[in-house]
């Protein structure tokens, strides 16, 4: 099944737009113009990128009129993240997308929380944390694509990761990390996704992985949903101490995340 995951881009059900996007992303010489030329053929993606880039959250409200501008303002990694996340979700049928809309909502909420945590951690880039959070559960969507019925039966259980390994031979953090590595996203994002349940095992970009792990655990408190699988553990207590997040900072993270989530909800529908 791991081989299937690495070759997801070749599945016949994959939208043409995502096949082209993969080709561009895997070309290290590609530019924002190349990505724009792919995105502009998909009306949904084009509208989403322009809406996000013009939102007050990213500080360019009303100033962005073209895809090229949007990619420059938002940054290469965020645009790739939005395209990958949106396109992979589009692999699901309309009924499944409606049913699983809260999984995507959970993803961007984790991104928002991670971005707010990063504001209190030195030398950690807010944008990287947002994209890592946005994509942290993309492995779960991959499993839905590979075996929809079997995965739906385990999606909201407390033993999801164990059952993923039994069915697919791997779990969603590993599958998501491999998928994003194949799409040539930055190693920091790949590591954050791959280790978002086991940040202590991460040897590179440990702080970023810890932030995503903490953001997912906090999402259960801030935005409770049956779709989240970020149960709090001793490891999260250790992360709070490691990142020097005192009570005041945690309160700030909660308040800002709740406010931003409300304003971002419309931008990240699928």
pLDDT in tens, 123-144: 898 888 998 998 899 898 888 8
pLDDT band for 42, please (50, 70, 90 cuts).
confident
The per-residue pLDDT for 129 is: 93
Alpha helix (H) ranges present in the chain?
2-6, 16-25, 32-39, 43-53, 67-74, 76-89, 94-99, 101-118, 126-135, 138-146, 148-152, 160-168, 172-182, 187-194, 206-222, 234-242, 247-264
C-alpha pair distances (Å), 195 with each of 24, 135, 220 = 26, 12, 18
> Is 205's pLDDT higher than 90?
yes
**Token duo for residue 197:** 């349940």
CB 87 within 8 A of CB 15: yes
> Is 262's pLDDT higher than 90?
no
Q: 43: exposed, middle or buried (C-beta count within 10 Å: 0-12, 13-18, 19+)?
A: exposed
The per-residue pLDDT for 3 is: 58
The per-residue pLDDT for 92 is: 67
pLDDT band for 39, please (50, 70, 90 cuts).
confident
Inter-helix orientation angle 67-74/32-39, to 10°: 130
Domains of the chain: 2-264 (1.10.3210.10)
> Is 115's pLDDT higher than 90?
yes
> Is 11's pLDDT higher than 50?
no
Among the residue ranges 50-54, 124-128, 242-246, 262-266, the one predicted with the least confidence is 262-266
pLDDT tens by residue, 208-243 = 999 999 999 999 999 988 777 778 889 999 999 999
pLDDT band for 265, please (50, 70, 90 cuts).
confident
> Is 166's pLDDT higher than 70?
yes
CB 267 within 8 A of CB 52: yes
Greatest pairwise CA separation for the chain in angstroms = 51
**Average confidence (pLDDT) over 38-58:** 82
> Is 58's pLDDT higher than 80?
no
pLDDT tens by residue, 86-103 = 777 776 666 666 666 778
The per-residue pLDDT for 12 is: 43
């Amino acid at each position: 099944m791991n081989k299937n995951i690495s070759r997801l881009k070749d599945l016949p059900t994959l939208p043409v737009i995502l096949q082209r996007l993969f080709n561009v992303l895997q070309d290290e010489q590609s530019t924002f113009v190349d990505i724009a030329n792919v995105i502009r053929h998909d009306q949904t993606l084009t509208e989403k990128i322009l809406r996000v880039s013009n939102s007050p959250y990213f500080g360019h409200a009303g100033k962005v009129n073209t895809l090229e501008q949007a990619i420059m303002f938002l940054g290469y990694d965020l645009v790739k993240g939005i395209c990958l996340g949106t396109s992979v979700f589009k692999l699901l049928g309309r009924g499944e997308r409606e049913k699983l809309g809260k999984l995507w909502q959970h993803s961007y909420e984790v991104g928002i929380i991670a971005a707010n945590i990063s504001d209190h951690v030195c030398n950690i880039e807010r944008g990287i944390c947002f994209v890592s959070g946005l994509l942290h559960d993309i492995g779960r969507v991959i499993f839905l694509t590979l075996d929809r019925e079997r995965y739906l039966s385990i999606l909201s259980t407390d033993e999801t990761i164990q059952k993923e390994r039994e069915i697919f031979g791997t779990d969603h953090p590993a599958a998501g990390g491999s998928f994003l590595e194949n799409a040539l996203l930055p190693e920091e994002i790949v590591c954050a996704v791959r280790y978002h349940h086991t940040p202590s095992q991460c040897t590179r970009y440990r702080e970023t992985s810890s932030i995503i792990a903490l953001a997912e655990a906090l999402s259960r408190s801030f935005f409770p949903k049956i779709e989240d699988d970020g149960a709090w553990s001793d490891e999260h207590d250790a992360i709070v101490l490691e990142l020097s997040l005192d009570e005041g900072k945690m309160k700030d993270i909660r308040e800002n995340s709740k406010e931003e989530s409300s304003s971002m909800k419309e931008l990240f529908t699928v």
